[in-house]
Amino acid sequence: MAGSCIILNIGMGHSVDVKSDAEEAKRLLQLALSIDENDADTLALGGHITAWTGEFDTAIEMVDRSIALNPNSAVAWRLRGWTYQYVGQAEEAVRSFERSIPLSPLDPMLYSTLTGMALAFIRLRRFDEAVVVAQKALRRNQTYSPIYRCLAAALAHLGRDVEAKEALARLLELEPSLRISELVAQGGGLRWPRLLVEGLRKAGLPG
């Protein structure tokens, strides 16, 4: 969980050294797995963390094994979705998120599941659906800045410029120093979807 918190800190733009923090998260993960390498949720967290270091094949193996160990874990399916989204397999990411939701419909982390789904929809150019799920995520958490990233980008791609700028303004209230260059740097070993970056640029996020 400590490793997961570090990754969340990176994802919300609070890390000052993405590479170093991702490696620390990975070190903590390895400690957890040394205690129990067959815990499904720990493996799923491990895949999520490992993707941030750019080891995509290992990350996929870990999240797939977590599902094999416990196919009824909403946590494992959610983190599998995020991991597949990170490696660019958006269709599989959406399928994973869709499996997660009915397993825990009142999950306090549902906003994260929906945000990941919105990001995958952006990769797939399904911008209307990205807006819908991002708005659902906002009804559950209005302080999670990645939701506004997705919403602003999707709205901009749809030509809904006024709404896109409103979403961007809210994003910058939460991340006032965010710039395109900083967003790219936050990815560490990842590559944010090109359409996310382009959408945020259209919405007015400075370079």
Domain boundaries, the chain: 1-107, 113-207
- Count of alpha carbons within 13 Å of 166, Cβ hemisphere only? 5
Q: pTM of the prediction?
A: 0.91
Q: C-alpha angle 51/57/59, rounded to 5°?
A: 40
Q: Matching CATH topology for 1-107 and 113-207?
A: yes
Q: Which of 47, 51, 106 is nearest to 74 (CA)?
A: 106
pLDDT in tens, the chain (207 residues): 898 888 888 777 788 887 888 889 889 988 998 999 899 999 999 998 888 888 899 999 999 999 999 999 999 999 999 999 999 999 999 999 999 999 999 999 999 999 999 999 999 999 999 999 999 999 999 999 999 999 999 999 999 999 999 999 999 999 998 999 888 876 655 667 889 999 999 999 998
Q: CA dihedral in degrees (197, 198, 203, 206; nearest 10)?
A: 60
> Phi and psi at residue 190, in whole multiples of 5°?
-90, 175
Architecture of the domain delimited by 1-107: Alpha Horseshoe (1.25)
Architecture of the domain delimited by 113-207: Alpha Horseshoe (1.25)
| Tokens describing residue 161 | 């410029």
CA distance linking residue 174 with residue 54, whole number of Å: 27
